[in-house]
Each structure stands twice: as structure tokens, then as C-alpha cells.
Structure 1
Amino acid sequence: MSTDQVMLFSLLAVLFGLLVWGRIRYDLIAFGGLMLAVILGIVPANQAFTGFSHPATVIIALVLVVSTGLLKSGAIELVARYVVKTGRSLFLHITVMSTVTAMLSAIMNNVAALAMMIPVDMGMADKEKRKPGLTLMPLSFASILGGLITLIGTPPNIIIASFREQALGESFGMFDYAPVGLAVAVAGVLFVALIGWRLIPVDKSQTGQKNLSAVREYVAEIRVAEKSRVIGMTIEALNKANQDTDIEIIGLSRRGKRFPGQAVDEEIAERDILVIRAMADNIDAFVGENQLEYVGSEKHESLIGGDLSLIEVVVPEHAYIAGRNALDLRLLQRHGVNLLGISRQGVPFEQSVRQLTIRAGDVLLLLGPTGNLHDVATRVGGMPLQERDFLVAQRHKAELTVFVFAVAIVLVVLGYVDLAVALGIVSLFMIAFKIVPIRDLYETIEWPVIVLLGSLIPIGAAFEASGGSDLVAQAIIGFSDNFGPLLVLALLMVFTMTLSDLLDNTATAVMAAPVALEIANALNQNPDPFLMAVAISASCAFLTPIGHKNNTLIMAPGGYRFGDYWRMGLPLEIIVILVSVPMIAWVWPLTG
């Protein structure tokens, strides 16, 4: 090996070791490695920051913005909630949830898709009195599998497509991944639903770590809007219709007067006030699904559907708000903040929420403009629960959001617009229509991932230019000598999966892509199947919680330990290879 190759492999060994060690943030490791590579002369100084302007980096950032917009529009949430029902067998529940999660992951970032489905799944687990660890790992694996289907489903697909464009002059298209990705996803989801979940150690699938107020119920008041679907229904019928949603209607008020008891036989009319008992997570979904509105929403109509949030606030002893009610404080008139609900340790009350005297120990559910909600809560002496802020979805913009996104994808597929440009236009649309508030724009982007990718791309280019990727390629070819290109393809997938199980999948794709190209050149084969193999295997990290962010995301709520993942993950990785190799060879001929 040359001096440059020795220095480069030594640098990569240090970087990989630190990433596996996990005590230092991966973006700092990558950026530090880039700076060291520049000092050592491995990466030219004038190319040090080219990774931050690389198309893959830009596309991943824009995909995160668009995914956030799809979530905030309420379109994805409504799809998820329509398919969730109680009373299903565990097999059927896992099949349905995994299929829906995989489908969502194909059209948006798979991390965002899983993050939205976790509370839905945990709510079902709580209702069915089963451990969430039995279903969260299948859900995570399904989201990873679904991301394989399209260009925007997972970062490795974007990275490989951009690498192909630079190396061969043309990128992979939006649905070029679909034939192989769909076959792998179907096989993987079937395994997870039929067999995989049974391999999870049940004794270790504890209840999981719940948020501070995961089981807190509020009494809240919701108004029946014009043309609401509940008009004409009785309270009893509405309760039956929502028996799967943790929502209970416990009272009805009309023109300022509350009916006695629960008024179960009373028909609901426009402008009635429904008194409901529900967990904070479910209130906004109930409002959206039934075309209801928040009491007091007319006071800030300019913000409705714009930049509103829900926040939970604890009332401590001697707080200014204690001993007063929302009308006394004029929260709505002065600050545009509405007291939506109160949780009082299960104690019932008959008064209107806004007229109820607030006590120390109460937990308040406030609705208002995102920008000053925390300030108002603090000003009245409350203590916001930082980990329990909730987005108020903008469901009246869901159809428009989906339409604009779909048009952009069609234009990309037809070749009229570049993917990065199309995603940029969709992002601007979401900002202009306040689906993604400009205040939150930069928070939607996972900057550590951007820094990681921007730092590793120049190192990956140096890895290829120095001949390092050729050395690894020759080692893989030599190991499979005389066994043909299909075995080389399989070994490349094993090599990439092993890296991805130990490192970040983004880092793995950057480093493995040039290896795939060198293998194809050395064997005089079509490079596309080898690049496709890297794209599939870089994402399929199922053995550890650190290989993919989705596996990390479920670790605490599922009550998993580090060694729990391989039990279902190892056979799943074997299935991925067994399905991928023949599918890749069929769709992307080796000699094409």
C-alpha cells in the first residue's frame, strides 16, 4: 500500500472505532476526521466542503422538510388512524401496522414515518394490555424495509443515486429501486408478521419507558363546527363510533347550559360544546376526524391552521394561576391562548373548563401560537412539560399538500424536473402556506446527519481516488474467486450490512459505493446491480440498535436491550440477501 493509502485506512479505522464506541457525537467525529484528512493532505483543502453542496446532502435535507410538512398537514396521521382497530389478533395487528408503516416510508423519510406510528402503536398496546416491545421492533424493521422502495425513502438510496450520476453520468430514478425494494419489503414484512415477532425475548419486552404524562387524561371542551359529521348523532352513538380511540364524551353543553349527566340520548347540534375525556395525544386527532373545532378558536382565526401547538403545564404551589380560572386571567383575549383541558388526578367536575378554579397540582392543556405558548405558560406561574408538546395538525390543508407533493413526484418521474428542484419547490410551498412555519424550518432538518454526510463525502472521494476502494474490492473478489459474480454480489451485501450494523447507514453508503463500482469494473460487469446491492444492504441494519436511527428510536419505549435485535434481525438480513441477489440479477442484468 502507498503512504496515502496507509494514512487513509488508519484514519478510517480511527473514525469507525470512534463511531462504534459511541461516546462522541457522530457528526463531530466525521467533521473532525475531515479536518484531519485535510491536515494530512488526504483531502485537498479546496475540496474539503464540497460534501455540503453535494446533491445527496441537499436532497436529504429537503426530504426531511417535506416529510415534516406531510406530518403537519395531518394527511399521514389520518391514513394511519383509519387502519388502526382494537380486537385484532397480534399477527393481524403487526401485519396491518407493518404494511402501513412500510407504505408510508416509501413516500417520506422512514424515520419520520416511524416516529408518527410509535404513539399509535403504543396506544393500541395499552388498550390491548400487551407489551409494546412485541410490536415496536416489527414496526421499526417494516419502516426500514419500506424505505427501500423509492429514491426518497431512505438516505442510502439518495446517496447511491447521486454517486451513480457522478460516476456514470445518470442517476437512478424515483422508482428504479421499486422492483427489488418492493420484493424485499414484501418478503421482510411477511417474515416479521408471521415469525419474526415471536423471536423477540418476551421476558425482556417490558412495558417500556413512557413519557411523564403518557397515561394522563384531560377533561376538555370541543365545539361542533358547521357541517361536522357528528351533527344529528346522539352522544351514545358518538361514543360507540370512537370506542377504539380512547375518547369518551362525558357531557354536552348548549347555549351555555350543560345537560344533566352524560346526555347519552341527546342529539348533537351545530355549536354544541362536547365535554370529552381523553389523553392529550388523541384530542387533536378527534377534532380533525370529526370536523370539530376548539372553543375560542375564533379569537385567533388568523393562526388556525397556521402555527398552533398544544402544551401541557403543571400548576405548582403558590402559582399566580392557582385559585383563578381562565376567564379571570383572560388568557384568550390577552394572549390568544386557550385553556383546552384540565387533568385533576381523575377527579370529575361539572363546571365549564374555562370557569373552573384552577388548583395547585392540576395539569393544564393549553392551545395557542407556538411562538409564545411557553412564555405565556411561564408568565402565569405554570411549569411546561418540555417533552410533551403536541403539534396541531392542519387537516384542511392535507388534500392540497398531498396534491402538490404528488404533482412534484410525477414531474420528477417524467423527467421534467430534477428531484432536488422539485423537493425545493414543495418545501417553499409548505413554508408559504405555513404548513411548515418558517420559525421551525431549520429544526425539521437533522443537522447532525447533514454534517455527517457533508464530512464523509470528501473522505469517500479520497478513498476512491487513492485506490483504497480498489483494494477492498479486490479482497472481496479474491475471497469469492472461481464462484462467479452472484457470490461476489452476495459477499458485497454481507460486507455492507456488517458495516451498517456497526456504523450509520449514511456513512456505510458513502464508503461502500466506490467499492461496488471497483468490483464491477474488475469483473467487467454492469455496475448497476452492485450499486443496487449497496443501496439495499446499507439500509438493512437489523442486528443492533445503532445501525439505523429507527432501531435506536424504539429502544427505550420498547424496553429492548442491545442483544435483543439480532434474534429477529439476523434471519431477516439473511432473507434480504436471499431475495435481493436473484431479484437484482433479474432486474439489473450483470452483463447489461
Structure 2
Amino acid sequence: MADSHLVFVLLALTLIAFVWGRWRFDVVALASLLAAVLLGLVPSDEAFSGFGHPAVITVAAVLVLSRGFELAGVVDVIAVQVLKVGDRLLYQLCALVGLVVVLSGFMNNVGALALLLPVAMRMAKEHNTSPSVLLMPLAFGSLLGGLTTLIGTPPNIIISSYRASISGERFAMFDFLPVGGAVALVGFAFIVVLGWRLVPRRAGKASLDDMFDTANYLVEVSVGEGAKAIGWSLARFQRKLDNSVPVLAVVRGEQRYAGHAFYGVLREGDILLLEAGPEEMAMLEDKAGLRVGLAPSEPERVDDDEASASHDSNGAIGAGSDDDAAASRAGESAGEGAGESPAVKGDDATQRARHLAARAKGLVERDERDAEQQQALEQTRKATRDDSGKVDTEGLHLIEAVVRTDALLVGRTAVELRLHHQYGLHLIAVARDGSRLRQRLHEIRFRAGDVLLLQGDADELGESLAMLGCLPLARRNLNLGQPRRLAASLAIFGLAIAAMLLDWLPASVALALAALVTLVLGMMPLREAYRAIDGPVLVLLAAMIPVGQSLETSGGAKLVADALLTLGSQWPPMAMLAGLFVCCTLLSNVINNAAAALLMAPIAASLAKGFDVALDPFLMVVAVSASCAFLTPIGHQSNTLVMGPAGYRFGDYWRLGLPLTLVAMVVTVPLVMWVWPL
């Protein structure tokens, strides 16, 4: 089989694996690269040349600088003002979408969305707005903003590097602005004026309690006398109950201990604050001998005549009489009622009266004990409930977090990850597509876009979530940053941009130098820099660059271009540009946009050569269309991140995404031909 045919087979299998989603896209890309080497499509000595490619270095540097902006408080200074826009939805959309468009032009668009997502959630809660109305416009705005500059999105960097490999000259920092800026501006206007009306209003919730119905599942369970759980650690408790009942807190006396931080053993009288439904409650009773609450015991049933006698005797006791007096009265009453001599029946009546009196006394003592237990429960509840009677989660350090596409959790369970032992986190609940999952927690395999309710130490939550690849959605305490650090971050970034504009340094060197200076000056810890680098995206780029080149070197790109030229030989170049836009957009909605740009760039170059026209218009169309992944939640990480918090379904995205894509194409094609003449 010819190399040109082999590369098509390989790419087809790669695309199928991307769409299937069984393996992460970085693993698929690396497997595709190694297969290309084994098939002889990529020379073995060039297999890993992509890891040193300028596009990969540039993307890594932008990710580090974006994290530096966050730590310096650059975005928070602006976000404070966003929260003051008022309760009109138009103003909220303008503020959120406009800000994310601007930020995405100068930092990673996923990073910009991650910073503003908690702000949007807070805004939705404060103004009683469904998050679904705000989050899709916010995600699409982050994609539009990336069109405006060289560093706004990986496809722009890839196209610039590809142009340099063909013509020896790269696109400059703001070469994308005339076309990309116009598309972003028109797209922004469309979203805030009309587009948001096309977004389905889903049941995504803006608050922790609403998202997970926490109040309906938090129950208090007492460790009673003789309970099996006495002497158990919480770890053993979880194992016995198949890790299906999260313990949020242990209340002992007037002290309350967070479940994730309690390492003692359970004692009689402890109260456990649990997340449990009816099924789990039955399991608690069966396997641990625990019962819900401490309600007073119900009195034993007695016969009507016994109850009457008990009442009389109880009354006598309450008046201060002794058992003999009660028995005497009972005996007289019995004798008279029977019409018989007291000498005959007196002894039996006296014994029965004494029995009933003793029984009544026992009931009184039990009622007193239950009253004391109830009083103890009420005192305990002061530690677990607020003034309104609802379970008080304050101090339990609960947080919502959304699973990113590149998260360590994807495809794994909490047990496999050892969330508590490795990361100090308790998994309390999982929501998917806007509703809480009812499966047992240890059976749930996490997916990108899932929203998790987690518990952990307040000081370590952020670090643990970052290690796992989760984005916190809880109320964000905006940090205004340190003025000196903020000014220094902007100055360093400004100098890097100036060096690029004046052609003093290529983008990869200028931005890498800026990232290094940020670290040397101590403006960001080194570990934060490494965490900011999106490893899966870099592996994807590094692996797909040689595969994309093999499409050109094997002659595969020329075959595709020749077929398109034959098909559209009578079409004007504008129609061919529109067709290229459609093909690249469809591809970017099912695979990563960077991979789409890598695969379509050689085809665009072959088309330009076949038409005997300038290369730049075709490359610019690929750059714009590769970032117009508005049709599906899997086309871009920004789309995936908002799916869970907003409660979107897979088919919701095209409602706004399709008209927005058409708007982008109508603006892009004629503007490209005007700014970059054929």
C-alpha cells in the first residue's frame, strides 16, 4: 500500500479513537505517532521532534504566564467590577462575555474561562438566574477571544509555525486581529443581543445545596448502646458499608469534627452526620447497628383495662402516694366492681394493682430517660443545625468542583484514586448533566464535566483539586493581589509582547523568557508553574506535529487537495474558502482544535498551490475555523467545563452554536479575502 494511502488509514483510525473517547486524546495522539514511525511514515530520528517545536514551547509559556496573571490578581481586580453590573441580564452578559473575550486574547482561553466561571456562578445565584443562560455564552466568548491574537489559542500558534516552515515568515502577534477581532466583535454582539435566547434553560443550579439537594440527604445517626460500630474507625466504617455512606462530621458532646479529619474510633453516644438515602439508611441499621436520630422510645402497648389502671396508678404516684395505697384502692375497686367479698379477691387484686403500679413507674422512668436523651440530641443539634433547623454545613469545608477533560479522575473511581488517603478528600456526591447521580459512590467512574461535591481541609483543598485536574465552583473569595506583583506581571508580559512586535525575538523565545523571569523574581512558585502546564495538550501537539507533516510528505495532502480541486474546479476561490471553513469546523467539533489545525494546514496549503493563489488566506481560514468549535461539548475544553454546572445536554450546544458558526463564516470568508488578497 502506498504511503499516501497508509496515512489516510492511520488518520481515520486516529479520528475514530478521538471521537470514541475511550482513551484520552494525548494517549491516542502518542499511539498515532508511534504507529506512523512503525509504518515508515515518520523517520524514527524525527519521531519526537515535536516536543521541541516552537508551537509547543509557546503554548507552555502562555499557560505559565496565564497562571501568573491569576496569582497576581490581575483578573480579580476586573472581576470585582463585573459583580457590580446589576440585575439586568443584558448587562450581566455584556460584562461576562466581553471580559472573557478580552482576556482570552492574551491568556489561555480555558484559563480565562476557569477564572470567570465561579464569578458567573455567583452572579447567577445572587440574581436568581439559571446558570445555563450565562455559561454557554461565557464558554463561546472564550473561544471567540482566542481568535484575536497569536497567543490566544493553540491553532493560531500552529498556523503561524506552519507558515514559517513554508514561507520562512511567521504571522506576527496581531496579524490575526483584523479578521479574528471582527469575528469576535460580531460574535459577541450576536450572543448578547439574540444568541442567549437560543440557549435551553436547564436545571443547573447556582448553589451547592440546590445542585445536590444536600439538605434532603444529610441525616444524623446515633451510636447507641450495643451498636456494632462502637470501636470502629471511620475507615473501617466505610469499608463495612461498601464506601457508599460518606461521613461529613462526628459530633461528640459539644465538639464537632469534620469527617475527613476524624481519626479516632466511634463511641457510644457519638452522632454521625451522614449523606444517606433510604437504601443507605437500611444498610446502616443492618451492618452497623445504627439508627437514625434519637427520637423518644414508644411505650409498649397494654390492654385497655391495664392502661386505665396504669393511668390511675400513675396519677397516684404523681400525687405522692406509695404503691400500697394504690394497691389498696385498686383492691377495693376490684372487690366492689365484682360484687364479691374482699376477703376472697383482695389478695389477687392487690397483686395486680402492685404490678400495674410498678409498670407505670417503669414507664415514667423510661420517659424521663428518653426526655434526657432528647435534650442531649437538641444540644447536639446546635452543633449540626442552623437557626432555621437546616443542617449547618458551615465549617465542614464542602466544595463543588468540575472535572476537566484532562483531569486525573477521568475514567477512574474514587476507590482507584484513593481520594482520602492520597489527596485528603471525601467524595460526598456526584452530579452529571445537571442532576445528582444515585449510584453508589465507589461505583461511579468520573467523566469530564462531572460536578463533584467534596470535603477536605480548607488549606489543602485548592492544592488537591489542582493535582486532580478539577476546577472549583464554590464561592470564590476574590483576591485583589499585591499591587507590586500585579504591576510587575503586566510589565513583564508587556515587554515580551514588545519584543515580538519589534521582531527582536520569536514568540516562543520571548514568552519563554517572560515565564522564566516571572519564576526567577519569585512571583510564582515553581510547582505552580509546572501545574499550569497542560501536559496532555502539549503531548497532543508534540505527537500530532510529525503525523501532520507525514500527511504532506507522503502526498496525502496533495491527494485531498486534488480531489477538492476536481470537485470544485468551477467554483470561485471564495466558495472553496467557505468549503474549507466548513470542513475544518466540523473536524474541530469532534477532535481537539489543535489537532484539527495540524491536519488541515497541509491541505489548505495544497489547495492554495492548486489554485495558484496566495497561501495566507487559506491558512487564516483554517486558524479561524479550527477555533469555531461551537456545535458539541467535546470540541473544546471550555464547552466541556460548563456542561455539568449548567446542566446542558449534548444536543444543546448546536442551538446557539450553529447560528454562531454561520455568523463566523459569513464574516470570515469575505474579510479574509479583503485583508489577505488572493
CA–CA separation in structure 2 for the residues paired with 1:9 and 1:147? 30
Greater shift, 485-494 or 83-92, is seen at: 83-92
Q: For residue 232 of structure 1, what is the aligned residue in structure 2?
A: none
Give the conservation status (yes or no) of the 8 Å contact 1:59–1:419.
yes
Cα 1:215/1:399, change in 2 over 3 Å: farther
Cα 1:436/1:138, change in 2 over 3 Å: same
Structure 2, gaps ≥5 residues long = 215-246, 259-381, 399-419, 425-454, 466-471
TM-superposed CA distance for 1:383, in Å, is 4.2
CA–CA separation in structure 2 for the residues paired with 1:361 and 1:76? 28
Deviations 1:264-305 (A, max 9, x none): xxxxxxxxxxxxxxxxxxxxxxxxxxxxxxxxxxxxxxxxxx
CA–CA separation in structure 2 for the residues paired with 1:187 and 1:146? 11
Give the conservation status (yes or no) of the 8 Å contact 1:314–1:383.
no
1:520 and 2:608 equivalent? Answer: yes
Cα 1:346/1:177, change in 2 over 3 Å: farther
Give the conservation status (yes or no) of the 8 Å contact 1:319–1:360.
no
Cα 1:182/1:589, change in 2 over 3 Å: same
Greater shift, 10-19 or 409-418, is seen at: 409-418
Give the conservation status (yes or no) of the 8 Å contact 2:384–2:393.
no
Structure 2: which amino acid aligns with 1:153? G
Structure 1, gaps ≥5 residues long = 217-312, 325-342, 349-358, 366-373
**2:624 alignment partner, one of 536, 555, 560:** 536
- Taking structure 2 as the reference length, the TM-score comes to 0.63
Q: For residue 158 of structure 2, what is the aligned residue in structure 1?
A: 159
Deviations 1:502-560 (A, max 9, x none): 11101000000111111111111000010000000001110000111110111111110
Which protein has the larger Cα radius of gyration, Structure 1 or Structure 2? 2
Structure 1: which amino acid aligns with 2:205? T
Q: For residue 423 of structure 1, what is the aligned residue in structure 2?
A: 511
1:500 and 2:499 equivalent? Answer: no
The 5-angstrom pairing of residues 93-492 of structure 1 reads 93-202=92-201, 204-207=202-205, 210=208, 316-317=250-251, 347=386, 362-363=395-396, 383-384=456-457, 386-387=464-465, 394-396=481-483, 397-492=485-580
CA–CA separation in structure 2 for the residues paired with 1:466 and 1:320? 75
CA–CA separation in structure 2 for the residues paired with 1:581 and 1:469? 22
Give the conservation status (yes or no) of the 8 Å contact 2:125–2:207.
no
TM-superposed CA distance for 1:45, in Å, is 0.4
Greater shift, 481-490 or 174-183, is seen at: 481-490
Cα 1:360/1:69, change in 2 over 3 Å: closer
Q: For residue 42 of structure 1, what is the aligned residue in structure 2?
A: 41
The 5-angstrom pairing of residues 568-583 of structure 1 reads 568-583=656-671
Cα 1:360/1:546, change in 2 over 3 Å: closer
Cα 1:430/1:484, change in 2 over 3 Å: same
Give the conservation status (yes or no) of the 8 Å contact 1:521–1:527.
yes
TM-superposed CA distance for 1:81, in Å, is 2.0
Q: For residue 377 of structure 2, what is the aligned residue in structure 1?
A: none
Cα 1:426/1:345, change in 2 over 3 Å: farther
Deviations 1:412-434 (A, max 9, x none): 11111221121112111221233
CA–CA separation in structure 1 for the residues paired with 2:93 and 2:130? 13
Identity, in percent, stands at 41
Deviations 1:319-343 (A, max 9, x none): 999589xxxxxxxxxxxxxxxxxx9
- Taking structure 1 as the reference length, the TM-score comes to 0.72
Greater shift, 67-76 or 472-481, is seen at: 472-481
Give the conservation status (yes or no) of the 8 Å contact 1:317–1:360.
no
Cα 1:35/1:89, change in 2 over 3 Å: same
Give the conservation status (yes or no) of the 8 Å contact 2:620–2:672.
yes
TM-superposed CA distance for 1:361, in Å, is 7.8
Q: Secondary structure at the match of 1:564?
A: helix
Cα 1:205/1:172, change in 2 over 3 Å: farther
CA–CA separation in structure 1 for the residues paired with 2:106 and 2:393? 46
Cα 1:516/1:205, change in 2 over 3 Å: farther
CA–CA separation in structure 2 for the residues paired with 1:62 and 1:122? 29
Q: For residue 24 of structure 2, what is the aligned residue in structure 1?
A: 25
Q: For residue 555 of structure 1, what is the aligned residue in structure 2?
A: 643
Cα 1:208/1:85, change in 2 over 3 Å: closer
Give the conservation status (yes or no) of the 8 Å contact 2:250–2:257.
no
Deviations 1:73-114 (A, max 9, x none): 001121122133253421222122111110011111111001
CA–CA separation in structure 2 for the residues paired with 1:121 and 1:502? 27
Structure 2: which amino acid aligns with 1:395? Q
TM-superposed CA distance for 1:453, in Å, is 0.7
The alignment covers a number of residue pairs equal to 454
CA–CA separation in structure 1 for the residues paired with 2:171 and 2:646? 36
Give the conservation status (yes or no) of the 8 Å contact 1:430–1:436.
yes
Cα 1:205/1:5, change in 2 over 3 Å: farther
Q: Give the superposed CA RMSD.
A: 3.1
Structure 1: which amino acid aligns with 2:181? L
Structure 1: which amino acid aligns with 2:589? D
Give the conservation status (yes or no) of the 8 Å contact 1:544–1:565.
yes
Cα 1:144/1:383, change in 2 over 3 Å: closer
Structure 2: which amino acid aligns with 1:497? T
Deviations 1:142-196 (A, max 9, x none): 1100110000000000000011111110100000000001100011011111111
CA–CA separation in structure 1 for the residues paired with 2:78 and 2:394? 37
Give the conservation status (yes or no) of the 8 Å contact 2:204–2:644.
no
Q: Secondary structure at the match of 2:532?
A: coil
